[in-house]
Amino acid sequence: MKFGIACFPSKEVQDFANSYRKRYDPHYSLIQPHLTIREAEEWSSGRLKEAVAHLELAVKTLSPFTVRFNRFSSLLPGSAVIYLALEDPEPFIRCHEALCAGPLTEASKSYRFHPHLTIGQQLGHDEANDILASLRKIPVSLSATIDRIHMLYQTENDAWTVHQTFLFGRT
Amino acid sequence: MKFGIACFPSKEVQDFANSYRKRYDPHYSLIQPHLTIREAEEWSSGRLKEAVAHLELAVKTLSPFTVRFNRFSSLLPGSAVIYLALEDPEPFIRCHEALCAGPLTEASKSYRFHPHLTIGQQLGHDEANDILASLRKIPVSLSATIDRIHMLYQTENDAWTVHQTFLFGRT
């Protein structure tokens, strides 16, 4: 079964993101707007137990923090992904480092973790460039408190179900 | 903001349910297959806190239990809803009673809580009767362990995001 870890921002941010995702993101109906913390990976039940035990401890070391989305950006030209960007990604990066450690350490990747809330993907490069040019004119100023993460699993239709939430700093 | 409480059965049950929901349930892309424990209701942030506190205590009194889905059934003729039915609904009813108590006691309703996993709704009555007649011939024998519930909130597009999971019997 495939498991992943994600963070859902506030309803306000999700509503804003969905107004674009419904046009530009084929994953619109598979999962609510989120920031991926750990990519989907096939886990055995033993691996799942290990991951849950790790996260239960790891979130205790984290305190809620505020993120601010301040613009649309993209992974162009490497990838035709358009996303809502964080003004300051550092607190989210530190959160990622605390969670994806120990048994959840990720195999070395050729790219650095880059927190983002995808609102468009699987677009043609020219199309993505055009959309981004238009979206960049839209002012964005949305804040959200991040105080929990969710572990999810994927069903056969590629949609995601939440397995468990992990609240920061809970004893 | 609208909050509700639901239970997602195992991936196996969700996959089976989705194979029918994609044809018969307009909510297919709004939420994964679930058994509703408490209907959606507008909650203030104070009410939310009260509900979370209640559920955190209430789940400690519950132990995981197994449910078996053994047939398709319906709420016809009252309502054109088709669902996967539980062989023995009693453990789920007792779970509902423990959760929807105290501050989550439901206003008196004209119907008894009836656990079911909806796979078809918003159908014409004749259509629902025809579908049910065909589905009743399909053997159903699926089990799932129920060891957690989820509190969810609704976004503007009517989809649902999980707010928090509550694991049974956790201290």
Beta bridge partners of B160: B154
DSSP-H helix ranges across B9-124: 11-24, 45-58, 90-99
- From A81's Cα to the closest Cα of chain B, the distance in A is 22
Q: What is the mean pLDDT of residues A19-35?
A: 98
Q: Which of B9, B59, B10 is nearest to B35 (CA)?
A: B9
* pLDDT mean across residues, chain A: 95
Chain A residues with CB-CB distance to B151 below 8 A: none
* CATH 3.90.1140.10 for the B2-167 domain, yes or no: yes
The model's pLDDT over A43-78, given as tens digits with 9 standing for 90+, comes to 999 999 999 999 999 999 999 999 999 999 999 999
d(CA B109, CA B8): 24
Dig out the tokens for B146 from the structure: 């129920």
Whether A34 is catalytic: yes
Q: What is the pTM of this model?
A: 0.95
Q: Where are the domains of chain A?
A: 2-167
Contact between B167 and A167 using a beta-carbon 8 Å cutoff: no
The model's pLDDT over B91-111, given as tens digits with 9 standing for 90+, comes to 999 999 999 999 999 877 667
Whether A114 is catalytic: no
Contact between A159 and B15 using a beta-carbon 8 Å cutoff: no
Positions of chain B with pLDDT lower than 50, given as ranges: none
d(CA B9, CA B39): 17
pLDDT at residue number A110: 67
